[in-house]
Amino acid sequence: MEKPDPMARISPVKYSLDSKFQFKCHSGVKCFTKCCRGINIILTPYDIIVLKRRLQLSSDEFLTLYTQPQVLEKTDLPVVNLKLLDDEQQSCPFVRDDGCLVYADRPSACRYYPLGVASLAHKEGADDEGFFFFVNEPHCLGFEEKTVWTVREWRTDQGVDVRDEINAEWADLMVRKRSFPGNIKLTDKSKQLFFMTSYNIDQFRRFVFESSFLERYDVDKDTVATFKNDDVALLKFGLKWLKDLLFNYKNFEVNEAAQSISVRSGKRRESPK
């Protein structure tokens, strides 16, 4: 079994799905909930869908109350971080001394801990096993527990394998954009569309059904029926549409009435208004 350096915060060693590590977190360890304070958690699109549903909030309400936006320098794409409390420890808004209030619906980053995950390339030609690394924080006593996992077992146990499948197109968009030369920038309009589709599923639904979207794009009725009232299906549809918009994929046919606008540095077709 691979032994992490106890003084290193993040080990640069690549882990595969079959790499082993030793860890268990429970209320009996003295550092319980300490890792939920002073953190930086980027929320995935599916994280927001699950949490807003758990809290019975609209996308707008959840984004306003619990997130703060930022633009990732390497991708030039907007993401949202979980907004921490303004207390001495900068605590997660959902953590209490006895645990997490939304544990069953906690974000993917929380589920992965003590692992980190990264993709080295977009999906075509990428390593199917992915790239994982071990996060070893000196304050965490969970590493002293005797339970041994493989990365594959941990992902299944924590439910991140399912979440990663739902977020796969979004992650691929992020990595694909990161591979572009630095001088190729997205327009503000493109960033707004990326943000809406990724994070504000309620607004995206209005965009699809209350604008000329379905007149401009040839989407069959069965597909429309699947995502009309299903946030996850709508998210998957929207991410495929973003690939068309930003990277000129051919997932959807565009009606001839659609006009062209500049989306990046070149001319591209117009998004619905």
Quick one: 31 and 98 in the same domain? Answer: yes
- Degrees, nearest 5: CA angle 129-10-176: 45
Single residue among 175, 202, 226 that ends a domain in this structure: 175
Quick one: 170 and 188 in the same domain? Answer: no
Report whether 19 contacts 132 (CB < 8 A). yes
In this predicted model, what pLDDT tens digit does every residue of 7-22 receive, in sequence order? Answer: 444 444 688 899 999 9
Number of domains forming the structure of the chain: 2
In this predicted model, what pLDDT tens digit does every residue of 161-175 receive, in sequence order? Answer: 999 999 999 999 988
Tokens of 94: 């959902």
Q: Does residue 143 have a pLDDT over 50?
A: yes
Tell me the three-class secondary structure of 188-248, residue by residue: HHHHHHHHHHHHCHHHHHHHHHHCCHHHHEECCHHHHHHHCCCHHHHHHHHHHHHHHHHHC
Quick one: 64 and 132 in the same domain? Answer: yes
Quick one: 37 and 163 in the same domain? Answer: yes
SS3 assignment, position 80: strand
More confident residue, 241 or 260: 241
Quick one: 81 and 35 in the same domain? Answer: yes
Single residue among 128, 150, 175 that ends a domain in this structure: 175
Q: Does residue 6 have a pLDDT over 70?
A: no
More confident residue, 107 or 268: 107
3 within a domain of the structure (yes/no): no
d(CA 217, CA 106): 35
Q: Which of 20-34, 127-141, 147-161, 218-232 has the lowest mean pLDDT?
A: 127-141
Q: How many CB atoms sit inside 10 A of residue 99's CB?
A: 13
Q: How confident is the model at residue 258 (pLDDT cuts 50, 70, 90)?
A: very low
Q: How confident is the model at residue 93 (pLDDT cuts 50, 70, 90)?
A: very high
Single residue among 143, 175, 207 that ends a domain in this structure: 175
Quick one: 162 and 36 in the same domain? Answer: yes
Quick one: 251 and 135 in the same domain? Answer: no
Quick one: 145 and 28 in the same domain? Answer: yes
Quick one: 238 and 119 in the same domain? Answer: no
Q: Does residue 135 have a pLDDT over 90?
A: no
